[in-house]
Amino acid sequence: MENKPKGLTAWNLTTMALGCVIGASFFLGSSVAISSAGPSIIISYILGGGLVYLILFALSEMTVASPKVGSFRAFAAQQFGQGTGFVVGWIYWTGMVLAMSSEATAIAILVRQWYPVSIGLLASIIIVIVTLLNLLGAHRLSKIESVFAGVKFFTIVFFIVMAILLIFGIIINTPIGLGELLNEPFMPRGIKGIAGSMLIVIFSYAGFEIIGLAASEAEKPKETIPRAITYTVLLLVGTYILYVAVLLPLVPTAELNENISPIVASLSRWGINWMGTVINIVLISAIFSTMLASVFGLGRMMRSLSYEGYTPKFCLDNTDVPYRGILFSGVAMLAGLGLGSFFPRVYLFLISSGGFSILFSYLIIVATHMKFRKKNGCPPDGKCQMPGYPVTSWIALVSIIAIILSMPLIKGQGTGLFVGLGLLVLFILIYHLVKKRRNKKAK
């Protein structure tokens, strides 16, 4: 059992969230979003940041009111019934399992550039290592995440500094100034380009919900949770917007694609070619960090479900660290990896399938909060955090629905919507079967 004299601090939670968020979708996937929207991508990141702000503070209000409830799954069960809690819990868990299988695959693909190893074997080894590290417990894991979060943030800050030096001509003879921004329209594809980029932009922010999953292990949660959310929003949105602002003058957005990091493409274009190897190393550590934090959340989600009797019996344990839930999640990730291997484009299948579950979870968080506020008003002590309620809540709800419906419009994401809807129907049917079985036993 984990010795836990103190709970997680606001900074511990923030580094966990940053570790979960800043991964392959930022260092690699952002190329697709930037190419789609052109320079207007900065609007997409601002809009995405605003949506993240609303979702996080909706989650925060409920968590402050009941920090020990378990997760956003439990809040949904309280407001909409056990069926909704069951479905959203399993949808989130399944989607994250698939997404983390894709992240392990991504690491293996990157390592293969240097060593000709089997992608399946290496990805499996990575999943095993991540699972075992999570058994160390929240405090030790938060220290590991702090190191990884530091590496990722240092890399982003380093790029921003290098880009500024290039823009002002400090490390080259001629200042770049506005550079490529002068050579292309601000919105080359109009509103359609911004809309097309929003799905990937939201994915690049995804993972912040781990703050809610870790709430029961926080020190003074009524103070710590809102503070951690504020830190996370400010750091993420500020860093992303600054990153895009200094990137745009350096490289034509049409030259970017999913096969190269925007950081590598922009710096290589100006003669800083050694950055490619460095970014690949950082990218591997970033993805590994995302997996560590995500498996932490998976274990807590599994525990929340097991308390309600909605998991196999062997997943239930009462230790500080949900060992069985973590191990079960690790085995499921290996199974997800095996499932993905039957598809020609393994990584794309896994990440798009996981994407729906994340968006669906955000939809439920906002809908749950709206019902929570209507029924209970502000949390205890009257500390409302959601600005502009209920107008902003409706804006967030409609925005998430629009993003989900746009999935087929993005190349490769239609599969994610199809698989996600299939999982939704499957878990609704499973819940009704479980409920029917329980009713029979009760009689």
DSSP string, 324-347: HHHHHHHHHHHHHHHHHTTSSSHH
Residues 6 or more apart in contact with residue 167 via CB below 8 angstroms: 175, 176, 177, 179, 246, 249, 250
State yes or no: pLDDT of 73 exceeds 80. Answer: yes
Is there a contact between 291 and 130 (Cβ–Cβ < 8 Å)? yes
CATH number reported for the structural domain that contains residue 117 in this entry: 1.20.1740.10
What is the four-CA torsion angle of 3, 7, 10, 16, rounded to 10 degrees? 40
Report in angstroms the alpha-carbon separations of 72 from 29, 190, 194, 205: 27, 36, 29, 18
Residues 6 or more apart in contact with residue 226 via CB below 8 angstroms: 60, 64, 383, 385
Instruction: From 205, 226, 238, select the one nearest 359 (Cα to Cα).
Output: 205
Neighbours of 304 (CB within 10 A): 25
238 within some domain: yes
DSSP state of 412: T
359 within some domain: yes
25 within some domain: yes
403 within some domain: yes
State yes or no: pLDDT of 367 exceeds 90. Answer: yes
Distance in angstroms (rounded) separating the CA atoms of residues 373 and 212 = 17
Instruction: From 59, 55, 36, 87, select the one nearest 199 (Cα to Cα).
Output: 36
Query: What pTM was estimated for this model as a whole?
Result: 0.82
4 within some domain: no
State yes or no: pLDDT of 228 exceeds 80. Answer: yes
3 within some domain: no
Number of helical H runs and strand E runs in the chain = 17, 0
State yes or no: pLDDT of 67 exceeds 50. Answer: yes
195 within some domain: yes
DSSP state of 182: G
State yes or no: pLDDT of 223 exceeds 60. Answer: yes
Distance in angstroms (rounded) separating the CA atoms of residues 88 and 95 = 10
5 within some domain: no
Residue 366: pLDDT band with limits 50, 70, 90: very high
77-99 residue pLDDT tens: 888 988 888 898 888 888 888 87
Domains identified in the chain, total number:
1
Is there a contact between 94 and 86 (Cβ–Cβ < 8 Å)? no
| Residue range 304-323: mean pLDDT, rounded | 80
Is there a contact between 1 and 147 (Cβ–Cβ < 8 Å)? no
Q: At 430, which amino acid appears?
A: I
Residue 281: pLDDT band with limits 50, 70, 90: confident
12-25 residue pLDDT tens: 788 777 777 777 66
Is there a contact between 311 and 45 (Cβ–Cβ < 8 Å)? no
124-145 residue pLDDT tens: 999 999 999 888 877 777 778 7
Residue 396: pLDDT band with limits 50, 70, 90: very high
Neighbours of 296 (CB within 10 A): 29
What range defines the domain where residue 356 resides?
Answer: 10-438
Neighbours of 254 (CB within 10 A): 12
